[in-house]
Structure 1
Amino acid sequence: MLRSRSQVRILWTLLAAAVGLVFILPAAWMFLGAFRPGNAVIDAVTPLSWNTFWPDVWTLDNFVQMLGPLDFGRALINSLIVVVVSVIVGVAVSALAAYGFSVVEFRGREIVFGLVVVGFLIPFESIAVPLAQIFNDAGLNNTYIGLILPGIGSGLAIFYLRQHFLGIPASIREAALIDGAGEFSILRRMYLPLSTPALANAALIIFLSQWMAYLWPLLIAPDPALQVAPIALSKTFTLQTSNFGQNFAGALMISLIPAIIMFVLQMFSKQSIAEAADK
């Protein structure tokens, strides 16, 4: 009986390892392909062998070209400016809205919140073109403000924070009101300190939506000086030429930044939860 259970456990472990390998291989292929010269990454696909994944020639030329002539470094900086401002302002706006929708009673609250929910259920692509026209008419094209504004009103972040705020006992707010605290003071001193992991997740929602945005920057900021990382990455392909090595190098750089941030936020969330449990 014990041997049978041990064999089943081993089989499940092997199955989990095989499934994990399936997910890891594409990422490993992209990572190693970024160090291959030119289109060697595609030339090595057939016949399938170790050389398909492991380069026989290593080079940093793809990164040099991306950060040099293709000005990918400036695009990364533009993306970082957009996402940092979007996250800071977006989390503040989302927290204020979520607090209002969760604990403050006002007429039509559920209707307004329903509109917020419907708003984030509508694909952004369906409203991007008319929204871009509005921004153009307002003179916000080719500006950081034009790139940032649509990202700070995240309905999904508001919804997520509202659900978290609803789980905080109402007696905390009632006691603070009796002591003479205002709504903003209650939010800042009580709700936000109790919601650190939720705020980190809301920040991640806003970050990822802005970091990976492609259609909106393409419409609102055609100026090369304001191009963001996904737009710069797309320029490694044209109708006549393509360079998979440069494309993989750019994709690697774009992927590493959110991966590092997600790791940091995850560690921060775990630490916050542990500290809250100790208290």
Structure 2
Amino acid sequence: MTEHSRLRWLRLAVIVMIAALFFLPLWWMAVSAMRPGDAIFRYLSPLSPWSFLPREWTAEHMLGIWQGSFGRAIFNSIFVTLVTVIGGLAVCSTAAFALAVIDFPFRKSVFFVMVISFLIPFDAIAVPLYGIMRLLDLQNTYTGLILPGIGNGLAVFLLRQFFIGIPKDLREAAFVDGMGWFGIFWRIYLPLSGPAMLSAALILFVFQWQAYLWPLLIAPSPEYKVAAVAIAQFSNEYQANFGLIFAASLVISIIPMVVLTILQRYYSTSVASTGGKE
């Protein structure tokens, strides 16, 4: 075996080990969801093969999570996330188009403020934002859940960088043909920005699907509770049903994992093409 081959196999081994370390918590959660309740933590100390391979299998927890309001919470999460992605793409793509193409006063200042906005942790603005939503009477509504996720600064930044890379000659030719700004955006820029739009959709999807603090603040009612918040219903101040918690956590982890796995190559393609300069 040559030196090059040995280095390649060594790199592969390191990659596999790192991937296994990332996958291990998810595997343990899945195994715990399939174990009887009294066996979930039985084999943790000391560690043994049975810590990650259950001796007994049961579907009790996976079936049990659907007997309460968790099914409604999953529907709420899917609905809120889907509307956020659709509405967010409409808002973020038009904002990115304006910042990349249209020359208006203080354009660079607006872009700078937008970049700063997505660097601020959402937790820092959650309470003031809750006050605004309360004044607008948007507590316990789908609108209150969806609105903060539509304007995503990172998605705008990604789309803007992609739009900058589209040749100016295309829009100048469109102007000559009598096309307006909306026509240029709809007929030229959007058809060319498929990978970037998918990447922005992934950003909006992940942001909304994993949201916990904001849904907890704005929609505590069981009718509007999302899945990430509904997991808390399986525990109280006296006890926690860890089997149901692990089963519910597994369900809400599988959905984004499948979506990201299917669309990850489009995300990589878009990121590789967002290095345009003005």
TM-score by length of 1: 0.91
Contact 2:195–2:269 (Cα < 8 Å) also in 1? no
Q: CA deviation at 1:271?
A: 10
The answer as to 2:181 corresponding to 1:183 is yes
Alignment of 1:36-47 (within 5 A): 36-47=35-46
Contact 1:78–1:227 (Cα < 8 Å) also in 2? yes
Aligned to 2:159: 161
Call closer, same or farther: CA 1:39–1:190 in 2, change over 3 Å. farther
Contact 1:39–1:245 (Cα < 8 Å) also in 2? no
Identity of aligned residues (%): 47
Call closer, same or farther: CA 1:153–1:271 in 2, change over 3 Å. closer
Alignment of 1:54-133 (within 5 A): 54-69=53-68, 71-133=69-131
Q: CA-atom RMSD, angstroms?
A: 1.8
The answer as to 2:50 corresponding to 1:51 is yes
Aligned length: 270
Whole-angstrom CA distance in 2 between matches of 1:181 and 1:165? 18
Aligned to 2:21: 22
Whole-angstrom CA distance in 1 between matches of 2:70 and 2:62? 9
Call closer, same or farther: CA 1:271–1:132 in 2, change over 3 Å. closer
Whole-angstrom CA distance in 1 between matches of 2:3 and 2:112? 53
Aligned to 1:276: none
Q: CA deviation at 1:20?
A: 2.2
Tell me the amino acid that sits aligned with residue 194 of structure 2: T
Contact 1:37–1:58 (Cα < 8 Å) also in 2? yes
Call closer, same or farther: CA 1:268–1:134 in 2, change over 3 Å. same
Q: CA deviation at 1:192?
A: 0.8
CA deviation string 1:10-32 (max 9, x = no partner): 33333332222222221211122
Aligned to 2:245: 247
In structure 1, runs of 5+ residues without a counterpart are 273-279
The answer as to 2:223 corresponding to 1:225 is yes
Q: CA deviation at 1:267?
A: 6.0
CA deviation string 1:181-230 (max 9, x = no partner): 11111111111111101000101101111101111111111111110010
Secondary structure at the residue paired with 2:103?
A: coil
Aligned to 2:12: 13
Tell me the amino acid that sits aligned with residue 225 of structure 1: E
Call closer, same or farther: CA 1:100–1:7 in 2, change over 3 Å. closer
Alignment of 1:234-273 (within 5 A): 234-266=232-264
Call closer, same or farther: CA 1:39–1:100 in 2, change over 3 Å. farther
Whole-angstrom CA distance in 2 between matches of 1:107 and 1:4? 59
CA deviation string 1:130-167 (max 9, x = no partner): 11111111110000000000000111111110011001
Contact 2:199–2:266 (Cα < 8 Å) also in 1? no
The answer as to 2:146 corresponding to 1:148 is yes
Whole-angstrom CA distance in 2 between matches of 1:99 and 1:7? 49
Call closer, same or farther: CA 1:68–1:165 in 2, change over 3 Å. same
TM-score by length of 2: 0.92
Secondary structure at the residue paired with 1:235?
A: helix
Contact 1:143–1:221 (Cα < 8 Å) also in 2? yes
Whole-angstrom CA distance in 1 between matches of 2:139 and 2:257? 30
Whole-angstrom CA distance in 2 between matches of 1:163 and 1:26? 36
Misfit runs of 4+, over 4 Å: 267-272
Q: CA deviation at 1:243?
A: 2.0
Tell me the amino acid that sits aligned with residue 154 of structure 2: L
